[in-house]
Amino acid sequence: MPFGAFDPGADQPMAEINTTPLVDVMLVLLIIFMVTAPLFTHAVRIDLPRARSAPNVAKPDTVVVSIDAAGGVHWSGEALAREGLGERLAQAAAKLPQPELHLRAHRDTRYQVIAEVLSQAQRAGIRKIGLVTDPSAEGGSR
């Protein structure tokens, strides 16, 4: 007999695991999942309500501040003294919705000038600042 526990002369417990019931259960589960899986892909058609309104989101303007290699500041293409930049930034921060600030700097600009412009923008209350780069320019480590 395959079951050692039914042998009256056996003093030791059966040391082998009978995997036949486990395999049977796994095959039954596999068949159940194979039959029910295609049912999950069918969609139920529901008539959802349609909304006629569109969101009225005002796109904020963008302000481009450019810094040339010599440290000169330009406000949307117009030359501007660095002393007048703080006032312009404060005026832009007061607008609703607040415009985004795009900062463009020449590759040879000193970082100190860029940091001063960023500091002025933060003090003025500008919340959205983007650093604009030229991806088509040849980049590389020097």
In 1-142 the beta strands, taken as DSSP E runs, fall at: 62-67, 73-75, 78-80, 100-105, 129-132
In a domain, 47, yes or no: no
For residue range 104-137, list pLDDT tens digits in order.
Answer: 999 899 999 999 999 999 999 999 999 998 877 5
In a domain, 118, yes or no: yes
For the record, the structure tokens of 51 come out as: 């909304």
In a domain, 81, yes or no: yes
Whether the bond between 13 and the residue before it is cis, its omega within 30 degrees of 0, is no
Confidence of residue 12 (pLDDT cuts 50, 70, 90): confident
CATH number for the domain harbouring residue 80:
3.30.420.270
In a domain, 54, yes or no: no
For residue range 26-81, list pLDDT tens digits in order.
Answer: 999 999 999 988 877 777 787 777 877 766 666 778 999 999 999 899 999 899 98
For the record, the structure tokens of 103 come out as: 């900062």
Structural domain including 94 reads: 62-132
The residues facing 100 across adjacent strands are: 62
Give the chain's domain count.
Answer: 1
Pairing of the two strands 100-105 and 129-132:
parallel
